[in-house]
A and B are shown apart, each in its own frame.
Chain A
């Protein structure tokens, strides 16, 4: 089609070359770091940043911000850095928008350049302003030292402060999809949820070469900060996943439990699983013999809608289980003591894990369900040196602060401060019930007898006679550790058949759905950490 001619003789509607040039530029950006580096990314078992976005987001929802960005750094010459190594934009997960910042390892190792970081700052601002979750896909060597090794660093660091301001306002997920050092290791540390891909991802404050130079240690990224370290030993990450695809699926699943921001309720998911389903398999799972262990994860799965459970930090501090599940479609955060590990006794890491999980749920209006079977905090000189008092205090602090609905089920024992931190009656439990096997007391009869009757027992010289007396006295104490004594004092709202546990939790959630607790105004408490 030929339009009118201009004075110079050209077509005045000559859009073809202009649109062509635009398409060419976009195609170049979509080519990322070029075919060779894309092939290398694939050979490492990793997906490209564009493939990752396709798996993370609902099809056709991606709105990219800053695709045409480049480094704009005279020092890097006329080299082209697609999107400046950071792909940013807004897409949808299950029909709800999320802001995404995805580092592209094929572009200068995903290093953090000035323009790329400006783009990500815009996403943080956007997430906060629109009150939508923020997801980082991390595959970055960290700071672009080539550009920032000078004293312009003095102005840097806003990214972390801004992330702190976002905390508890919008959900933040940092998916670890590559080896990340320094800057890109603090991003996950400040995020709510951190899945790590086994084998290809790591995080460390200093990368391998820096570590060798600074402290003389010769280690691989994997040994220093791989998924095994962070999901089993340090507790920095939440889940180890097999590959990129599983990681992105897990991010979608995780966000399905969360509202878009702290002013909303979490989304209810329809289910055909009736809330009054009798959970009779619990009779087979939980022994009535009080000292016998069992796997509490089976209890959580049996109670949950459709037996579906999302485990958080399942390989770390295994003496307490933290998980998301749904009851009658309503998302809940479950904390359950695990008798299989350390007898379910709480230690410093368990307190850490539990406190953080409670803060996470409370920030986003996710009700909490506590399944008690806890002999208390571990005692002894080893744990005192680790600071178990302040860690225990941290868990007390988190439980006390939480204003979401809190439902407690005392399955078996619940002793001492263990009962408090598992949301005992005094911790604003909205509905607290017990099984007939429940034992709630300051300590168990075997421990108590040695304290209460120490002198009586010491006075008996014959060893057999003393052992017999100890058993008798312990039995006397045990008679007072009985759920019907607690129920008699109305310190338990009910004693239930274990098979009705799911129904009891559903009722508790219904009763407390519009819970409101007002605390005295303050900047913040002084947190024991």
Chain B
């Protein structure tokens, strides 16, 4: 299990994946919006998206859990 956490305080702009979806290393999980920029959040491991903890329009703090990936 690999946890993906927010690296910056931000608004969630888009969630790109669904729970249960297969992802490859480097795939986008969601796109945050902060400091006037679109900030893609990518997975560093391939696997299945087991948990998704964010939805569009929501605010995340630095360190908040975004997703859990079940490593393939």
Contacts and interface: CB of A to CB of B under 8 A. Distances in A.
A375 B38 contact: no
A382 B35 contact: no
Given A375-B35, A378-B35, A345 B40 contact: no
B1 to A, nearest CB: 18
Interface string A391-414: 000000000000000000000010
B58 interface: no
Most buried by A among B34, B35, B36, B39: B35
Nearest to B63: A382
B62 interface: yes
B7 A293 contact: no
Contacts of B14: none
Interface residues on A, range: 20 to 34
B37 interface: yes
Interface string B1-34: 0000001110000000000000000000000001
A258 B9 CA distance: 40
A147 to B, nearest CB: 46
Nearest to B13: A291
B37 A382 contact: no
A341 B8 CA distance: 10
A380 B8 CA distance: 10
Secondary structure of the A contact surface, majority rule: loop
A292 interface: yes
Contact of A344 (B7, B37, B62): B37
B37 A291 contact: yes
A309 interface: no
Contact of B38 (A341, A343, A413): A343
B61 to A, nearest CB: 7
A344 B39 CA distance: 9
Contact of B61 (A379, A382, A447): A382
B9 A447 contact: no
Contacts of B36: 291, 343, 375, 413, 444, 446-447
A376 interface: yes
A447 B39 CA distance: 17
Contacts of B35: 342-343, 345, 375-376, 378-379
A378 B36 CA distance: 11
Interface string B25-60: 000000000111111100000000000000000000
A413 B62 CA distance: 24
Contacts of B9: 380, 382
A382 B34 CA distance: 14
A444 B34 CA distance: 12
Contacts of A375: 35-37
Contacts of B61: 382
Contact of B39 (A343, A413, A444): A343
Nearest to B31: A293
Interface of A: 291-293, 339-345, 375-376, 378-380, 382, 413, 444, 446-447
10 contacts: A341-B39, A342-B34, A343-B8, A343-B38, A343-B39, A345-B8, A375-B35, A376-B35, A378-B8, A444-B36
